[in-house]
Structures are given as structure tokens and as C-alpha cells.
Amino acid sequence: MNKTINKFFFLPEDQHLFDYDQIFSVSSMWVELGMENVEATYDLYVRGMPKNRNFLLFGGLEEIIEGLINWHFTKAEVDFLLKNEIITPKMAKPLKNYRFSGDVWAMPEGTAFFPEEPLVRITGKIWEINLFTFFLMNAVTSNSIFLSKAIRSFLATKGKIKVVTCPVTRAHSNEASLKFGRAVYLLGAPSAIVPAFARKYNLPTTKVNTKAYHAFISSFSSELEAMKKAVSIFPNISFMVDTYNLKQGIKNAIIVAKEQKAKGQTTLSAVVIDSGKDVKHFVQQASYARKELDKAGFKNIKVNLSGNFTENKLAELVKMKAPVNGVVICTDLVTSSDDPKMEAVLKLAEFTHNGSTQHALKLSYGKVSLPGKKQVFRKLRSGKLAEDTIGLENERLGIPLLSHWVKNGKLIKPLPDLDEIKNYLQNQLEILPEKFKQVEKVYPHKVTISKKLQKLFKTAQTRHLQKAG
């Protein structure tokens, strides 16, 4: 019998060996050239605002810190790198006993931010921080995309329609699905919890979104039989009522609800309309369902919609005063369909070599980076965000957003739990100007650069241009 080998795509530890031509070879060169003890500071930030966004939400701090402090390389991984000449023999030694030894400053997870603002500042050995290039950019990109996209749907409904998400459906991968589920939980959608997510964070699962969908309905000889069988197991279930014919589906749901009521049982939770030509058609169908349910005495049974809803379509539902309790949104949300890109970058800002501190920057067109150890300062006016300024770490220009999380490789304060992040995130939304919360218009927000940082940039720029000849 052949031994079965589990080749299920990638495991979490596989990210240790990603992007090796840039990461491992460059780090090896620093080590070979005697620069292994050079201390450096890197900035992790997002370059450019994705389209349709007025602000972004920072996600991924927990993943980043847990990843950094637990990062290590196995003997097999180091041997692979050596065998394939990806690293030099001298580089193998520090990798075999590797543990992160640097400092991490970062914005709290859930912070509202704007492009070019350092989200994470890491100081440590120049070669070791370089090892995390792929990991850091990937962690901030994936988590921040989900938060920044999902919040738009919540804002679009203005609290008048409940947003229900299904993170497992149509995500690009199982990891993406779970990260999305985490993001929408932080935004207040407990119905997004799937068993794997609930188990990881020790959270209760929920049956809010339990429903008899089309596959179940069509597996019986009739729609009515399927509905009766469903409530015999889960009385408070929801029915998809458009498997065959919407009007007959609603009629059958009412028949079942009346039978439940006659028996003194809890009636079904909701009817779900899963298809429509456009928003207007969805509203017409929902209006019909609501009218028939009310006429039958079931005002408690909700009317929910499901389909390829975007934040703009949700805003239309609100404007049309659709008699809808909730909308299930999947594909467009979990794929960030309007703009799935977010260009996170990790850039060297300064380094100290032979007792001399040198400021690093990039001058390429469209990719200019700022030198030095920086801080992001926020000013509020009447409780609302008025201005963000990127300055040097020792300036006093407002509320500092970057705080110290890791010192010498050790976590120096507890990471917040999910509900603490959720509460902090809600506070961030409250300080945003109302215009930023609109999903149909874009309001550019310019981040200010402090005078001291501008001066440092010009000095470093002159020196680098001289070096370039």
C-alpha cells in the first residue's frame, strides 16, 4: 500500500521560505560583509489609497506580533536553503537558532489611517527584519483590505438593515475566509462566526444565519415537504423561498408558520429572497413578502435578501426604504471586488553602522520614502479627526498613534482581545468626519509632513544624490 502524503497546499510555516531571492540572499550579503550587528529601523505602510475609499482601517497587528515573536527556522528549512545555495554557510548559523530580538512600535489594530502613514515601525538587526518582508506586507494587506472594504457595507446601511456575512463562500482561500470572518466580527457581525473561527478564539457559535437553502429544498418531492421537515429539526430556521416560485414559496412558508403556531411552537425566523434582476426588483419582491407575512399575522418573521450586494446597492435599498431586515453579502465583500489591491511596503528608514547613524530613503518616481524614526500624530477638533501629521518620533504634534508593543523581542504589554479591538474600532469610526463615512463619494485627505521631517528629508536627499554621483 502506498503511503499517503499530505500535500494540502501550504501550511503557516511555509511562509518562512517565501520570496527567498530578495530576503535570504540580501540578508546573507549583510552577514557575509560583517554587517550582522547593524541596527536598522524599517517602516511598514500602505502606498496609495484604493479607489472608492475615504479612509482605511488597520488590521493584522495580532498576526504580525505573534508571527515575529514566534518566528523560527527548522533544521530542514535551513538545510534546504543551504543545499539550493539560497543562503551562505555563514548565514546558516544565526538562522538555526533564530529568535526575533528587535522592537516593534505600531498603531493599535482597528485604527483609521491614511496612505504613507507608518503603521508599524520595527527596529532591530538589519538582516533579520529583512527576513519578514513578505510576511509583514502580506499580513497588513490581507487584514486591512477586509476591514477597509467591509466597513463600507456597514456604513451604507446606516443601521437600518442588518448586514449578515458568509465568510466561507467564494473567498480566495480558506485563510482569506477566516481572516475576513475575523474582520467582520470586529465590525460587529457575530453571524460571520464559523466553527473554526469560534474554536480558535473560544467564542460561542451562532445559529442566526441557519437556513434551509436551495439544495435542501430541492432534495424533497415538494417545497412544502422540505419546509416541514426543516422546522422539525430547527424550528427557528430561515427558508429560501425562491427555489421554484417566489409567491408559492412565501405561501408555503406561511402554511408551515401557521402549523407551528397552532402547536404552540416557535415560528421560523425569516424568509430569504436569493435572486433578483436588480435592486428595484429585490425591493418589489421583499415588499410582496412583507405584505403577505403581515397579512397572515407574522410580523415577527423577518424578510432577508441574499445576492451579489455591494455597499452601493445597500445604500440604494436604504434610499428606497426597502422593507428588509437583513442582507446576506458574500462575493463582492470577501473579494473586495471594486478594488482588491492594497500596496503595502516595508522600507528601510535609518541604520547605525560603526557608531554612525545614517538616514535611508528612496527617491524613485512615485515611490519616495521618508527617512528617520517617525511617529504619526493625530489632532481632533470637536471630537472629530482634523489632521494627521507624520513627524519625527521625538516631536509633539498631537496624539501619537504608534505605541511600543515589543522590546528586545519580548511582548511588553498584552495584545487586546477581539472585543477590546471591536470597541476601539467603534471609537475610531466615531471620530471620523461624517463625509468620510459616505460610500458614494470620495473625499481626499492629505496627510501633513512635519517641518522637521521635511528638513531631514531634504538633507538626506542631498547626501544621497551626491553619493549617486
Confidence of residue 197 (pLDDT cuts 50, 70, 90): confident
Cell numbers for 287: 415588499
- Is-contact 390 117, C-beta < 8 A? yes
Model confidence over 331-352: pLDDT tens digits?
A: 888 888 899 999 999 999 999 9
pLDDT tens profile 237-269: 999 999 999 999 999 999 999 999 999 988 999
pLDDT digits (tens, 9 = 90+) for 355-373: 889 998 888 888 889 999 9
- pLDDT at position 1: 42
pLDDT at 215 over 80: yes
Whether pLDDT at 2 is above 60: no
- Residue, of 18 and 104, whose pLDDT is higher: 104
Please determine, for residue 314, whether its predicted confidence score (pLDDT) is greater than 60: yes
Whole-angstrom distance, CA of residue 366 vs CA of residue 234: 57
Burial (CB count <10 Å: 0-12, 13-18, 19+), residue 25: middle
Q: How confident is the model at residue 469 (pLDDT cuts 50, 70, 90)?
A: low
Cβ-contact 436, 443 below 8 angstroms: yes
Which comes out higher in pLDDT, residue 384 or 2?
A: 384
Mean pLDDT of 166-193: 79
d(CA 412, CA 408): 9
pTM, full prediction: 0.91
Write out the three cell numbers for 296: 397572515
pLDDT at residue 170, rounded to an integer: 80
Q: What structural domains does the chain harbor?
A: 12-147+342-467 (3.20.140.10), 151-334 (3.20.20.70)
Q: Which range among 122-136, 196-210, 356-370 has the greatest average pLDDT?
A: 122-136
**How far apart are the C-alpha atoms of 240 and 246, rounded to whole Å?**
9
pLDDT value at 468 more than 90: no
**What percent of the chain shows pLDDT beyond 90?**
72
Residue 119's pLDDT band, with cuts at 50, 70 and 90, is very high
At residue 295, the pLDDT reads 97
CA dihedral 369, 370, 372, 378 (to 10 degrees): -120
pLDDT score at 19? 67
β-bridge partners, 378: 388, 399
Residue that the C-alpha cell 493599535 belongs to: 108
The residue-averaged pLDDT of 54-60 equals: 97
Distance CA 414, CA 65 (A): 11
* Predicted pLDDT of residue 190: 62
Q: Measured between alpha carbons, how far is 419 from 415 in angstroms, rounded to an integer?
A: 12
